[in-house]
Amino acid sequence: MSFELPPLPYAYESLEPHIDTMTMQIHHDKHHAAYVTNLNNALKDTPAASLSIEDLLKEISKHPMAVRNNGGGHYNHSMFWQLLSGKGGGAPTGALADAINATFTSFDEFKKTFGNAGITRFGSGWAWLCVNGGKLVVCSTPNQDNPLMDIADCKGTPILGLDVWEHAYYLKYQNRRPDYVAAFWNIVNWDEVAKRFASAK
């Protein structure tokens, strides 16, 4: 058994103009593919090779750094593709909207808090919206860490994530990470976030 690169759930160009086609091609076909290959190589002939990705992450401290970096990279990107849609954007509705308003006072305040988590992450990493103990929390992690990992500073079940590695935006936005973060809101697949929120609660 080994991990596989999931296909993008839409065409490379479908997130234009917010995320450009070439970034999507390189990000999925090269970066994500490399995480999968390197994860499989790191796990080869070890008992951990039969674990699910979630089980691997929750005891990641027991594994070598190559498993942490590439296992996180595989999980994070598999989730990220699902969270985006060319038909996305707008605002959440229903129970998720209620929880965001109750926690952050408004959707705009939530966007500020989440956006700042991404913008202020030094170097490479991710911004997250998580459910922890039934509550919504925003945080960020370095590198390919995520809140499912036992070593993470912020814990929880991630329901929205934003990749702020330069490879995610540099071709189109160069050093303007805040512009990429602003564009992200136009392509968030809130139906997918709501689904993850419902199952994480």
CB of 154 to Mn ion, least distance (A): 19
Residue placing its CB nearer to Mn ion in the complex, 71 or 92:
71
Cα dihedral 124, 173, 189, 8, rounded to 10, equals -80
* Interacting residues with Mn ion between 121 and 160 (CB under 5 A): none
Nearer to Mn ion, 34 or 200 (CB): 34
Count, residues near Mn ion per rule CB under 5 A = 3
163 binds Mn ion (CB under 5 A): yes
Residue 189: alpha-carbon gap to chain centroid: 13
Select the residue whose beta carbon is closest to Mn ion and give its number.
163
At closest approach, how far in Å is the CB of 78 from Mn ion? Answer: 11
In whole angstroms, what is the distance from residue 131 CA to residue 184 CA? Answer: 21
Nearer to Mn ion, 145 or 163 (CB): 163
From 107-115, 135-143, 144-152, 168-176, give the range in contact with Mn ion by CB under 5 A. Answer: 168-176
- Select from 9-17, 137-145, 165-173, 174-182 the region that touches Mn ion (CB under 5 A): 165-173
The reply to whether 192 sits near Mn ion by the rule CB under 5 A is no
Q: Which residues bind Mn ion (CB under 5 A)?
A: 163, 165, 168
